[in-house]
Amino acid sequence: MFDYEILKVIWWLLVGVLLVGFAIMDGHDMGVGTLLPFVGKNDIERRVVINTVGPHWDGNQVWFITGGGAIFAAWPLVYATAFSGFYWAMLAVLWALFFRPVGFDYRSKIHNATWRSTWDWGLFIGGAVPPLIFGVAFGNLLQGVPFHFNDYLVSTYTGSFWQLLNPFALLAGVVSSAMITMHGGVYLAHRTEGQIQHRAISGALIAAMVMVVSFLLAGLWLRLGGIEGYVITSVVDAAAMPDPLAKTVVRAADGWWRNYEQQPMLWLLPVIGTCSALLTMALLIARRTGLAFILSSLAITGVIGTAGAAMFPFIMPSSTMPNASLTVWDSVSSHLTLGLMLVATLIFMPLIVIYTSWAYRVMRGKVTESHIRANEHSAY
């Protein structure tokens, strides 16, 4: 079995993989939901759009559930503190997600234009709101979250919901929302044809451009806009038992850039995020939608990886008590817990990938209007 220090890093990487997997797999479902009211101009077209993701969306949410479970089990202090500070934001995500299962199941049960239009907008909310809030959350993490611990390691959040909606965090929300919308548009272009495909490509191109511009602006803001990063100045025993108060942390103007200065190879992450999005646009124009989906997935990996690499080893910095900032080293579960979870992950993660790949292979191909008309009662 790996020693404690290595397991801590492994779980940082695994949580990152789960977040990227969620953004790629459940993200294209949400992107399709975001584009639904604008790409589908009538009921048949909207049913085509819905049926591109209808058979897969609930399976893809396994990534979301697994990611949340992994954070709960591997980083319990992060989970508890985040759900305290981001309580109303997380509730907003859950409320938005409620529209998805009900919308998919109920939308086509009644032949009524008002009924169906209402659920179409419900699916839009379920697709558009979560990526926006997740991006806002990341923006706040990069600025630091106002929380502190007492001597019993009970956390207290001293901010408010409205403080989360600050300008930089909203810009990060734009990056996230545009990224997911681009990804959904690429997937929709791959699974449809005709006017629906044309509109999906147009939506994906606009979203990709917004993503690239806002991503670069966020990077410049972090570098030049006075947002300080966090740096550990004391000696850290990476193999010690977790104690978030047993370190010294300071804020520095170049705090989030030091990893990039020490490891220049990390610059590949923002380059991949930006260039992959631009290549996605070129491939969409050339109607190479399958390859565009791969490049779009790489763009997501690059963007999320950029933030993760900048913050390492910090997971949830504290703006009001920097020494209480939660890091990879001091917010984790026990050695035994991390080891048992790693074994379970090595068993079940491949199974998730295998069954997901099989499902997409079986249900591959274009979804057309003629297919919807021929399967009036079995399609969504």
> What are the pLDDT digits (tens) for 194-211?
999 999 999 999 999 999
Is 54's pLDDT higher than 90? no
Q: What does the pLDDT look like over 152-208, one tens digit per residue?
A: 888 888 888 888 899 999 999 999 999 999 999 999 999 999 999 999 999 999 999
Handedness of CA 130, 134, 135, 137 (dihedral sign): positive
Going from N- to C-terminal start, the domains of the chain cover 4-223+333-374
First to last CA, the chain: 48
Rg (CA), the chain: 21
Is 147's pLDDT higher than 80? yes
Biggest CA–CA distance in the chain, Å, is 68
Which residues does 23 contact at the CB level (< 8 Å), separation at least 6? 179, 180, 183, 300, 304
pTM (predicted TM-score): 0.93
